Amino acid sequence: MDIKREWDQLSEWYQSKDSRTDWLVGYPIVLEMLGNIQGKTILDYGCGNGSFSRFLVQNYPLSTVVGVDTSANAVSNAIQKTDSSLPITYHTTHSYQDLKNFSFDHVCFNFVFCTIPNFETITNICSLVYAQLPKGGRCVILDPHPDSHGKKFTSFESESPREKKRGERVHVKLFTSSIDLELDDYYLSEDDYRSALTQAGFSEIEIRAPIVGDVAAENVVLGAERTDPPFIIIQATK
């Protein structure tokens, strides 16, 4: 099944996933790593149901967000969930080549690269992003940490890949209030992210791997995120 069809089918379920881990040590750090984006245009690439797009404008009401996704169902869910007065527009794209049709000051990819099996697609996306960004523009990537596999976090658990090799299948269970949502991600090492970004032209790269001990986490049931980073968050500046 291609990625688009898979995400069209998963997008309904994906909305009901437990996202506590994401909100503890994922999305807020992406926001921080985007820097001061007030008045800027942010591309939320692979926006899913738009929860991060809405979070961006809640924090920076004078900014504009463009959410794009290859899944028409995800885009339709995002539109339904978003107050039409907010400065967010959503678009269905057919391929990563459509990136050329958007202009933006900064871009984020939340849990998108981990869903792409082909490394060449990832390097092509990074190159297009580099070409489109203005000088000083930031690209922030949030994905499961390459060492998180085999550990159980509050919101998800994944199996260790057979080999820690680029593109290797990683079976993931996302917890929801009913049945778990099971899907496959694809392994990328820290060096893979660095190499895709440097090949594209980025030279300033910062990588973080926060654990919950690093942020306030009252009243939350916690899994391995107390001691192990669930996510890798990478910021590259043009």
Ligand X SMILES: C[S@@+](CC[C@H](N)C(=O)[O-])C[C@H]1O[C@@H](n2cnc3c(N)ncnc32)[C@H](O)[C@@H]1O
What character string, x for contact with ligand X (CB under 6 A) and - otherwise, covers 126-145?
--------------------
158 binds ligand X (CB under 6 A): no
Question: Is 179 or 213 the residue whose CB approaches ligand X more closely?
Answer: 179
SS3 24: helix
Question: Is 12 or 204 the residue whose CB approaches ligand X more closely?
Answer: 12
CA angle at residue 139 from 117 to 55, to 5 degrees? Answer: 95
Question: Is 51 or 218 the residue whose CB approaches ligand X more closely?
Answer: 51
Chain residues 16-55 in contact with ligand X, contact rule CB under 6 A: 45-48, 51-52
Question: Is 111 or 153 the residue whose CB approaches ligand X more closely?
Answer: 111
The three-state (H, E, C) secondary structure of 122-167, written as one string: HHHHHHHHHHHCCCCCEEEEEEECCCCCCCECCCEEECCCCCCCCC
CA angle at residue 75 from 171 to 4, to 5 degrees? Answer: 45
Q: How far is the CB of 178 from ligand X (least distance, A)?
A: 18
Parallel, antiparallel, or unpaired: how do β-strands 64-69 and 88-92 relate?
A: parallel
Task: Tell me the site size for ligand X, rule CB under 6 A.
Answer: 20
The one segment of 67-75, 150-158, 199-207, 228-236 that binds ligand X by CB under 6 A: 67-75
Chain residues 92-121 in contact with ligand X, contact rule CB under 6 A: 93, 96, 110-112, 115-116
Place of tokens 């297009």: 128
Q: How far is the CB of 80 from ligand X (least distance, A)?
A: 15
Question: Is 1 or 218 the residue whose CB approaches ligand X more closely?
Answer: 1
Q: With contact defined as beta carbons under 8 Å apart, do 91 and 67 qualify?
A: yes
Q: How far is the CB of 98 from ligand X (least distance, A)?
A: 8
- Which positions ≥6 away from 10 have C-beta within 8 Å? 181, 183
> Which amino acid appears at position 219 of this protein?
N
Question: Is 118 or 135 the residue whose CB approaches ligand X more closely?
Answer: 118
> Which amino acid appears at position 42 of this protein?
I
HSE at residue 103, side-chain half, CA atoms within 13 A, is: 2
Place of tokens 């509050």: 154
Q: Which of 70, 148, 155, 158 binds ligand X (CB under 6 A)?
A: 70
- Residues lying near ligand X in the complex (CB under 6 A): 3, 7, 45-48, 51-52, 68-71, 74, 93, 96, 110-112, 115-116
